[in-house]
Amino acid sequence: MTNHDHDHHHDHHGHGHHDDSEQGSEHDSGHGDSLACAIAHGAVPALTGDRRLVAVFDSPVARELAHFAGHLGYEVVVLEPDRSRVGPLPQVTDVASAGLDATTDVVVTDHDRPELGEVLAQVLRGAPRWIGVMGSPRHTGPHVAALRERGFDDEAIARVHRPIGLNIGSQSPAEIAVATLAGLLADRNGRDGGPYR
């Protein structure tokens, strides 16, 4: 929620009914402001047709990502290459079927899986908007060696973000999913994800 969304939220609930003249003067500061306010109040649907998320590997975090991302207007795909792992979410088994494009963010939810290197190699050969691997910032991610073994240089490997998400002290799968999605939205909107000042 932007600053003006936050301000309008309190204004509308703090002053009772607004007549048309008040709404006009309050919302006419610019088309972007009025549109964002209308979206925040549910008057028009959010403009989310360009949001896709590929959660790599079926995991508790992937399931929470799919849940929250759906509410945020993302089209969600779970990529699970192990056909024996049948989870509760619709899955594809290969990167080609995931349909990576410039609107797609790819989040690897388990860095210990043996398929990590091969999946990331295929993802890097595609054209997603953003790629990230979950994991602790205190350790070098295993994806680095896995990609070097497959011939990728430092520039290509640097396209893979790690750690990911906002630093909110998240621990549970749901908290990790919220932090991850908040970070993706901040990146999409060109924001640093910090508090309003």
Question: DSSP string spanning 129-169?
Answer: SEEEE---TTS--HHHHHHHHTT--HHHHTTEESS-S--S-
The amino acid that residue 64 corresponds to is E
Instruction: For 136-191, write each residue's pLDDT tens digit.
Output: 777 777 899 999 999 999 999 999 999 999 999 999 999 999 999 999 999 999 99
Instruction: For 65-102, write each residue's pLDDT tens digit.
Output: 999 999 999 999 999 999 999 888 889 999 999 999 99
Would you say the C-alpha torsion 97, 50, 190, 46 has a positive or negative sign?
negative
Burial class (CB in 10 A: 0-12, 13-18, 19+), 142: middle
Q: How confident is the model at residue 34 (pLDDT cuts 50, 70, 90)?
A: low
The residue with greater pLDDT, 116 or 27, is 116
| Cα-trace Rg, the chain | 20
Rounded CA-CA distance 124/117 in Å is 10
Write down the pTM of the prediction: 0.76
Which CATH number does 52-188 carry? 3.40.50.720
The residue with greater pLDDT, 195 or 177, is 177
pLDDT averaged over every residue in the chain: 82
